[in-house]
Amino acid sequence: MSKITAPDGSAPSALSFGAMQFGGKADEAASRDLFRASRERGLNMFDTAYVYNEGRSEEILGKLIQSERDRLIIATKADSKRGNSAASITESCEESRTRLGIDVIDLFYLHRFDDETPLEESFEALAALKSDGLIRHIGVSNFAAWQVMKAQSVATKFDIRIDAIQPMLNIVKRQVEVELLPMCVDQEIDCYPYSPLGGGLLTGKYRAGGQEGRLLESEIYAKRYGPDWMHHTAADLATVARQMRTDPATLAVAWAMHRPGVTAPIASARSVEQLLPSLDALQVDWDDDLEARVTALSRQPAPATDRLEEA
């Protein structure tokens, strides 16, 4: 059971919403509609970051949450551009609280591992924020398993702990299954993975001739999801979805929701129309047969020892 709760004690919903598009591809009106659609389906966890759209994401989300703040879990991340120095952590936390219009951030992440700043400096700053009542829980995003455990050992020196991680996870990006997810189970760490749709690849829109999306707009995403086998997996997922009379995005998100060790994947979208198939994952009757069928569509990563006979 998650140690992270809303101020009123509510546990995280099985799916969370990522506000990365707020203030960017989603203007204020679209952001409001996305927030409402999420709340109507019972989502109570909303994720953003200091750097998203130069702070507009936090500002817009902050306006939307005010009337029901105590029922929501708000997560944001420190300024990744400045690294994890004490000054960066402290100053970005203060600005994020101001943008969000909240006194306390429920879950505050280090956005990336910073090998130029000693972990002791970072976690001493996080401990001070927690002691001052400015953050409730600490997370790390985009850390490898060894980095999480190294950071956790440092955190204990300051009488705090890492309560959550945020890695990438989807049907064609399964590296977290090797060490990060087993680590979360063993160490009782929440996992809120992002990109369950693989930048839109797993929605089938690119194969259908879609003219917009991250794979077309971002060189990073185009490279990340460039291998042909990933596109074949997306096509096979679409076939299964058609046979089940559902949307491939629904199956992709449901698959991520049911990974052992996952607390709640982060769904995101530019519009309610885009978001609805992801929200429908909450209603999927997931069983062992469907689990095996969907999982078999992709490549299983090698075990941590790389002894394939142990897979």
Per residue, the 3-state secondary structure of the chain, as one string, reads CCCCCCCCCCCCCCCEEECCCECCCECHHHHHHHHHHHHHCCCCEEECCCCHHHHHHHHHHHHHHHHHHHHCEEEEECCCCCCCCHHHHHHHHHHHHHHHCCCCEEEEEECCCCCCCCHHHHHHHHHHHHHCCCEEEEEEECCCHHHHHHHHHHHHHCCCCEEEEECECECCECHHHCCHHHHHHHHCCEECCECCCHHHHHHCCCCCCCCCCHHHHCHHHHHHCCCHHHHHHHHHHHHHHHHHCCCHHHHHHHHHHCCCCCCCCEECCCCHHHHHHHHHHHHCCCCHHHHHHHHCCCCCCCCCCCCHHHC
Looking at residue 206, its pLDDT comes to 72
Poorest-pLDDT segment among 27-41, 204-218, 285-299? 204-218
Above 60 in pLDDT, residue 15?
A: yes
Phi, psi of 138 (to 5 degrees): -115, 135
Quick: pLDDT tens for 227-242: 999 999 999 999 999 9
**Encoded tokens for 116:** 């130029």
Percent of the chain's residues with pLDDT above 70 = 97
- The arithmetic mean of pLDDT across residues 102-109, rounded, is 98
Is 181 within the bounds of a domain? Answer: no
Report the length, in residues, of the chain: 311
Q: Which amino acid is at 300?
A: Q
**Encoded tokens for 278:** 């992801």
- The arithmetic mean of pLDDT across residues 180-204, rounded, is 96
Above 70 in pLDDT, residue 211?
A: no
CATH number, domain of 62, equals 3.20.20.100
Above 90 in pLDDT, residue 1?
A: no
Is 172 within the bounds of a domain? Answer: no
Residue 273 C-alpha from the chain's centroid: 20
Is 160 within the bounds of a domain? Answer: yes
Is 247 within the bounds of a domain? Answer: no
Looking at residue 309, its pLDDT comes to 80
- The arithmetic mean of pLDDT across residues 39-55, rounded, is 98
Band (pLDDT 50/70/90 cuts) for residue 222 is confident
**Encoded tokens for 79:** 């300024």
Q: Which amino acid is at 132?
A: D
- The arithmetic mean of pLDDT across residues 14-27, rounded, is 97
Band (pLDDT 50/70/90 cuts) for residue 193 is very high
Cα separation, 29 vs 282, in Å, equals 25
Q: How many Cβ atoms are within 10 Å of 231's Cβ, its own excluded?
A: 16
Quick: pLDDT tens for 58-100: 999 999 999 999 999 999 999 999 999 999 999 999 999 999 9
Task: Put residue 54 in one of left, alpha, beta given phi > 0 → left and psi -120 to 50 → alpha.
Answer: left
Is 34 within the bounds of a domain? Answer: yes
Above 80 in pLDDT, residue 310?
A: no
Is 76 within the bounds of a domain? Answer: yes
Sign of torsion, CA 292 295 297 301?
negative
Cα separation, 254 vs 250, in Å, equals 6
Is 143 within the bounds of a domain? Answer: yes
| Half-sphere exposure in the Cβ direction for 116 (13 Å, CA) | 7
- The arithmetic mean of pLDDT across residues 187-211, rounded, is 87
Percent of the chain's residues with pLDDT above 90 = 89
Is 186 within the bounds of a domain? Answer: no
Q: pTM, whole model, 2 decimals?
A: 0.95
Looking at residue 94, its pLDDT comes to 98
Looking at residue 90, its pLDDT comes to 98
Q: Which domain holds residue 126?
A: 1-166
Quick: pLDDT tens for 234-268: 999 999 999 999 999 999 999 999 999 999 999 99
Tally the domains of the chain.
1
